[in-house]
Amino acid sequence: MAVMAGAGAPGLWRRTPPAVFPPIMGLFGLGLAWRRGVNSFGLPDGIAEAILGAVTALYLFCLLAYLAKFLRRPAVLVEDLRVLPGRAGVGAMVLCLYLVAAVALPYGPGLARSLLWVAVVVHAAMLVVLIRVFATGPAEQRRVTPVWHLNFVGFILAGLTAPAVGETALAWAVLWVTGFIAVLIWAIGARQLRTAPPPAPLRPLLSIHLAPAAMLGVVALGVGFENVAQIFAVIAAVMLALLIIGLRWITAAGFSPLWGAFTFPLAATSSLWIAIGGVWSVPGGIALIAATPFVPWIAARVLQLWAKGVLAAKTNAATA
């Protein structure tokens, strides 16, 4: 287990890299997509729950590893938030709390509701720290990137659980507020892509733009806005098509830990299309078939880098 601390680390888990969390988020998304497929396609429910149980255990282990690092020296959170892979990883770590609440929903609505509010509070606290990092750091850190979706739009994940536990007002609030923020980030991102395309190593992060479209659609469907969900289904389809067309350009730098960004958007899009059903059932099923081997493959590659002690160095993770 000492190898998990990272190369050159002075003790167990002192350099736990936040980069382990984006692919774990993708695994959660895959399990939730399988859960939706149980009713739509008659898939075995045991497979979905086995995936979600295993991913929850993996997440709790990685969360423990990061908390051990944080408790040794709390300033590591600020240091991780100063670098782009760290902001993505910490953001995914927090957002996974919403997904744990969604996993728990069929087993205990009360537990799911409690986990939901824990996620909201932790997310808000992280955002306060992040805004302070932006305010006190160099101007380059404040450049809008797709990772802003994780940090600022990620509250939309509260809408996965909120309607089912009697928090419909929360679901409505996150739908409209985060929807507005997502549109702003999309607009800025489109302009930046035309005027200053990202360097090859950062291009996989562009796939994050797909996730808000999928999640806004899922939440809109959950609160009864079926027409809005249909609009987001189309937006997600256009975005996914553009990502596929530009895949060679996006992956030009070869595999890196940032490939974790591919995982959740694909799984989330599958969930949206499966949830809407009708003409979207076939695309949803195809996306689920594609995501089922692809997401675990990326997660395994990233976790292997952690096990070898090189993930922290590759992503500039802070050391406690």
Is 115 within a domain?
yes
Cα–Cα distance for residue pair 278/65, rounded to 1 Å: 43
Q: What is the pLDDT at residue 7?
A: 41
Domain at 124, CATH number: 1.50.10.150
Structure tokens at 306: 């952690």
Is 320 within a domain?
no
Tracing tokens 């350099």 back to the chain, one arrives at: 15
Is 217 within a domain?
yes
Is 145 within a domain?
yes
Task: Check residue 152 and report its DSSP letter.
Answer: I
Is 319 within a domain?
no
Per the CB < 8 A criterion, the answer to whether 153 and 212 are in contact is yes
Give residue 231's domain range: 2-314
Q: Which DSSP string corresponds to 33-93?
A: HHHHHHHHH---HHHHHHHHHHHHHHHHHHHHHHHHHHHH-THHHHHHHTSHHHHHHHHHH
Is 83 within a domain?
yes
Q: What is the pLDDT at residue 10?
A: 52
Q: What is the pLDDT at residue 43?
A: 80
Is 67 within a domain?
yes
For the chain, how many structural domains are there in total? 1
pLDDT (tens, 9 = 90+) of the chain, 320 residues, equals 444 544 444 567 899 999 999 999 999 999 999 999 998 888 888 999 999 999 999 999 999 999 999 999 999 999 999 999 999 999 999 999 999 999 999 999 999 999 999 999 999 999 999 999 999 999 888 999 999 999 999 999 999 999 999 999 999 999 999 999 999 999 999 999 999 999 999 999 999 999 999 999 999 999 999 999 999 999 999 999 999 999 999 999 999 999 999 999 999 999 999 999 999 999 999 999 999 999 999 999 999 999 999 999 999 999 99
Is 149 within a domain?
yes
Class of residue 12 by CB neighbours under 10 A (exposed 0-12, middle 13-18, buried 19+) = middle
Pseudo-torsion of CA 181, 184, 189, 191, nearest 10°? 180
Backbone conformation region of residue 145, classed left if phi is above 0, alpha if psi is from -120 to 50, else beta = beta
